[in-house]
Structure 1
């Protein structure tokens, strides 16, 4: 009887070689990189506006005392939470189901 480690390694190798697993990893990585790029662009744009256009960022919004920088900063934080929620929704709805099907077929 093979040792548990050998059995686990054989199962891992079988799953890693499955084209559905390769496609799952590729799809998940692509989606993660897209969300990462969106986040980096938004944060970089915000910092660039602060660095290079201070007068615009200091303008009050709606005639009040809150500046545009505060509004954009809050919107950026809400957007970051939304991006995280989109990833979780996609992972729970698509990636987890595909992985469960793969594991079931592999006998794990």
Structure 2
């Protein structure tokens, strides 16, 4: 691609829309993940008795194990949500921008 196509893309309202949507979505997902991590750390710091409570009488597993695993799983889920939207809506917008720039 040459410089004129790059300039067309940068000045395109669709490109600006794509950048804004992608940034907003990434920040929202990042804030959710940060909130989950902060909640977990605060629970470890101020509520260790909650995480140390056994799931059921006679079990050795405490609530801390599923909470930690849930935190890790939430990172994968949020990543999957981002990938799904990126491969759908964001890729569609990207293709439209490229088609407009080539005309």
TM range (shorter): over 0.9
State the 1:65 CA deviation: 1.0
Q: Give the equivalent residue in structure 1 for 2:11.
A: 17
State yes or no: 1:42 paired with 2:36. Answer: yes
Flag structure 1 segments of 5+ consecutive residues without an equivalent. 1-6
Residues 10-53 of structure 1: CA deviation (Å, up to 9, x unaligned): 21111010011001100110010000000000000001100111
In the alignment, the residues of structure 2 paired with residue 32 and residue 9 of structure 1 have an alpha-carbon distance, to the nearest angstrom, of 28
Which of the residues 44, 50, 53 maps onto 1:56? 50
What is the aligned length? 102
Aligned mates of 1:52, 1:34 — CA distance in 2: 26
* More divergent stretch after superposition (58-67 vs 24-33): 58-67
- Which of 93, 104, 107 is equivalent to 2:99? 104
RMSD: 1.3
The runs of 4+ residues in structure 1 deviating greater than 4 Å are: none
Is 1:87 equivalent to 2:66 in the alignment?
A: no
Instruction: Give ranges in structure 2 of 5+ residues lacking alignment.
Output: none
2:65 maps to 70
